[in-house]
C-alpha cells in the first residue's frame, strides 16, 4: 500500500515512516510542508495520505486544506488526519461528502502502533477512523431541533462507536451487550434519523456523520 505522509516535525515524521514501513506500507513521499504535500498527492497518486493539520508555510490548517483539495479533485481519496486539536469545521467538511476513506485522530490519544496502523488500513479501505473526542465535538454542534434529540442515551453511545468505524460485534463487545441488541439499536438510529436502508456499513456510518454535520447551527 502506497502512502504519502505529511508531518513537519522531523522526529515524528521519521518515526511514522519507520512504523508504517515495518508494517508493510510503502512510503512514496514523506514531506514537511503544504506545497510539498500538494505536489506529492498530484504526482504520486498514493493509496492513502496521512496528514498533519498544521504544516508550513502557514502553520494553521495547511495540511487539512491540502487533504480537502485532494478529496475534491479525487472524490473518496483516503485521508487520515493527525492533529493536536479538533478543527470542527474542517473535520465536518471531510465527513460531509459521505464517501468514506476518512480518519481524524488526535496525536496525544494514539496509544500504540497497532491502533494507528489499523486506522491507516481502515481508512485506505474506505472506512472511517474517528477519535471519540472528535465525534463528541461534532455532536455538540447539532441544532436544538436536530433529529439526534430523538435518540436515547444508549443510541448516542452506539452512534459514536459506529462513527469510529466499529462493527456491530465490536460495539457489542465494548458495551457488553449482545450483537443482536446492537443491531436493534442501529436500526432504530437510522429510522429516527430518516436515513435509507443500506447493506454497506461504512456508507451507513458516513451517512450518519454527514447528516449530523448537516444539522449543525
Please report where in the chains the cell 431541533 appears, as a residue. 145
* 143 vs 32, more confident: 32
pLDDT above 70 covers what percent of the chain?
A: 82
92 and 24 part of one domain: yes
Cα 133 from Cα 88, distance rounded (Å): 11
Cα 63 from Cα 23, distance rounded (Å): 24
| pLDDT at residue number 200 | 55
Q: Looking at mean pLDDT, say which of 5-14, 51-60, 109-118 comes out highest.
A: 5-14
Q: Could you tell me the pTM of the whole model?
A: 0.69
Lowest mean pLDDT among 51-60, 77-86, 159-168: 159-168
Cβ distance 57 to 33 under 8 Å? yes
| pLDDT at residue number 85 | 81
Task: Sheet with 26-31: list strands edge to edge.
Answer: 26-31, 2-6, 48-52, 79-83, 102-106, 128-130
DSSP 195: P
Instruction: Provide the residue range defining the domain that includes 52.
Output: 2-136
Segment 66-89 shows an average pLDDT of 87
185 and 87 part of one domain: no
119 and 26 part of one domain: yes
| pLDDT at residue number 17 | 97
CATH code of the domain containing 29: 3.40.50.2300
Q: Identify the domain boundary among 106, 136, 166.
A: 136
pLDDT in tens, 57-76: 888 888 988 988 898 889 88
Segment 109-133 shows an average pLDDT of 89
179 and 72 part of one domain: no
pLDDT in tens, 132-186: 887 777 666 554 456 777 778 898 888 888 777 778 899 999 999 999 999 888 8
Q: Identify the domain boundary among 136, 161, 195.
A: 136
Cα 20 from Cα 7, distance rounded (Å): 14
138: its cell numbers = 461534532
pLDDT band at 203 (very low <50, low <70, confident <90, very high): low
Amino acid at each position: 500500500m502506497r502512502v504519502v505522509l505529511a508531518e513537519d516535525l522531523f522526529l515524528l515524521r521519521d518515526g511514522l515512516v519507520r512504523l508504517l514501513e515495518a508494517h508493510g506500507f510503502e512510503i512514496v513521499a514523506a514531506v514537511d510542508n503544504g506545497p510539498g504535500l500538494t505536489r506529492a498527492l498530484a504526482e504520486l497518486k498514493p493509496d492513502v495520505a496521512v496528514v498533519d493539520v498544521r504544516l508550513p508555510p502557514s502553520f494553521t490548517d495547511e495540511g487539512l486544506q491540502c487533504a480537502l483539495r485532494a478529496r475534491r479533485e479525487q472524490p473518496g481519496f483516503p485521508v487520515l488526519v493527525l492533529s493536536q486539536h479538533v478543527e470542527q469545521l474542517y473535520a465536518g467538511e471531510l465527513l460531509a461528502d459521505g464517501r468514506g476513506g476518512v480518519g481524524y485522530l488526535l496525536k496525544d490519544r494514539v496509544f500504540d502502533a497497532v491502533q494507528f496502523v489499523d486506522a491507516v488500513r481502515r481508512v485506505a479501505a474506505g472506512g472511517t477512523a474517528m477519535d471519540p473526542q472528535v465525534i463528541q465535538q461534532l455532536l455538540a454542534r447539532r441544532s436544538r431541533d436536530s433529529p439526534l434529540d430523538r435518540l436515547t442515551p444508549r443510541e448516542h453511545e452506539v452512534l459514536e462507536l459506529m462513527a469510529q468505524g466499529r462493527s456491530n460485534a465490536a460495539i457489542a463487545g465494548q458495551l457488553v451487550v449482545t450483537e443482536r441488541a446492537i443491531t436493534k439499536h442501529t436500526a432504530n438510529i437510522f429510522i429516527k434519523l430518516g436515513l435509507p436502508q443500506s447493506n454497506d456499513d461504512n456508507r451507513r456510518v458516513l451517512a450518519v456523520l454527514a447528516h449530523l454535520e448537516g444539522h449543525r447551527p
